[in-house]
Amino acid sequence: MNVCITGGAGFIGSHTVSACLKAGHTVSVIDNLSHGFKDNIPSGVSFYNADIRDVTVLEKVKKEQNPEALIHLAAQISVPDSLKKPEETFAINTEATKLLLDILKPQKVVFASSGGAIYGDPEVIPTPEDSPLMPTSPYGESKKRAEVILNEYFHANKQAAVTLLRYANVYGPHQPHDGGGVVAIICKALKDDEEFILNGDGNQTRDFVYVEDIVKANLKALDQSAQYEIFNIGTGGETQLNNVIKMLQGVSRKALTITQEKTQDEVVRSVLNSDKAKEWGWSSSVSIEDGLAKTWEWWSEKKSKH
Ligand SMILES: NC(=O)c1ccc[n+]([C@@H]2O[C@H](COP(=O)([O-])OP(=O)(O)OC[C@H]3O[C@@H](n4cnc5c(N)ncnc54)[C@H](O)[C@@H]3O)[C@@H](O)[C@H]2O)c1
């Protein structure tokens, strides 16, 4: 299959690109390197160093690649930045999603939505797909609006396979420490002997899912035929941040310097109900212990700054 991956130079994107190449797909990437790295992209990929809002480039990709499938991962991913620059966040995360669909007209679409941000502070935990969508940030709202655009695309193209994946808290190698991913932030602090700012008491829980499991879901979604489906992609397991800290200190054999900060806006419990994905044939297979060990191994070996 000819697959175009937006955000392919980023954390989840780079792993997805490698897995698509391994599966024998032809891959093109659109990424403006605003939060990704060229050396994350393996050879054998047609790389467009461009913004997904650039219509001329999208038309060029259509002409040169005519991709059958689009895995749409490029986004402004920072919640604090979305509060500072909501307009830009909507332009990148929502409006550019429409541009990509209108110009590329893919038969298959896989969209990276956010289970952590789209439900807000949910009443039902673990949270299923049919819970009310009550995002508390422009970032979450931008994903909610993009989901509407994807729904409209499917209704206008009923032969298309449109799969929305609401990821839980993803972690693993290649995750930058400046994107809000707490595992990467802790690993960076441990590696460089820096202070870690802990928001709250550390008893907050998250559904941490290893990046390889996310990639498995992205590739599985490429096998779908005409459908519109939404799946939560998480482990269903709840891990306290304090436990993550303990496990990372264990595998790194280092002590973390922690400064606790009071916070008002931290969601206390966040865990997705991913039973629907299990029925679909996807489930997570990497335990939190193994995932954190593999992530630390990458951090401890990595030489580059990112
Ligand atoms: N990491 C998580 O825990 C998580 C959870 C839920 C959803 N997601 C979603 O998964 C997707 C990938 O996230 P990630 O963690 O790999 O983030 P990332 O920042 O590592 O990757 C995003 C990539 O998109 C690129 N990009 C950003 N704006 C762009 C633009 N205007 N034009 C072209 N390229 C642009 C960046 O350079 C980067 O390489 C995002 O859509 C994110 O919202 C991530």
The CA distance from 87 to 249, in Å, is: 39
CATH class of 2-170+208-233: alpha beta
Number of Cα atoms under 13 Å in the Cβ half of residue 9: 18
Q: What is the mean pLDDT of residues 211-225?
A: 97
Q: Is the pLDDT of residue 303 over 90?
A: no
| Ligand 1 pocket mutation, candidates 4, 5, 16, 35, criterion most atoms within 8 A of CB | 35
Burial class for 191, CB neighbours closer than 10 Å (0-12, 13-18, 19+):
middle
Reference 283, options 222, 224, 236, 229; nearest CA is 236
**What pLDDT shows up at residue 265?**
72
Read off the pLDDT of residues 109-136 as tens digits, 9 standing for 90 and up: 999 999 999 999 999 999 999 999 999 9
Distance 155 CA to ligand 1 centre (A): 26
Read off the pLDDT of residues 41-93 as tens digits, 9 standing for 90 and up: 999 999 999 999 999 999 999 999 999 999 999 999 999 999 999 999 999 99
Q: How confident is the model at residue 267 (pLDDT cuts 50, 70, 90)?
A: confident
Rg, the chain, Cα only: 19
Q: Quick check: do 2-170+208-233 and 172-206+237-271+286-301 share a fold? A: no
Q: How confident is the model at residue 264 (pLDDT cuts 50, 70, 90)?
A: low
**What pLDDT shows up at residue 210?**
98
Higher pLDDT, 179 or 274: 274
- Known catalytic residue at 48: no
> Above pLDDT 70, what percent of the chain?
98
Distance of alpha carbon 240 from the chain centroid: 20
Would you state the structure tokens that stand for residue 262, as one six-digit string? 């009071």
Kindly name the residue from 48, 119, 139, 167 that is annotated as catalytic: 139
CA distances (Å), origin 57, targets 9, 27, 50, 86, 268: 17, 16, 7, 24, 42
The verdict on the CB of residue 140 being under 6 Å from ligand 1 is: no
Domain ranges across the chain: 2-170+208-233, 172-206+237-271+286-301
Q: How confident is the model at residue 306 (pLDDT cuts 50, 70, 90)?
A: low
Superfamily of structural domain 172-206+237-271+286-301: UDP-galactose 4-epimerase, domain 1 (3.90.25.10)
**What pLDDT shows up at residue 304?**
60
Name the average pLDDT for the chain: 96
Peptide bond into 106 cis (omega under 30): no
Distance 255 CA to ligand 1 centre (A): 30
Reference 123, options 228, 248, 292, 270; nearest CA is 270
The CA distance from 253 to 233, in Å, is: 31
Q: Is the pLDDT of residue 305 over 80?
A: no
The verdict on the CB of residue 112 being under 6 Å from ligand 1 is: yes
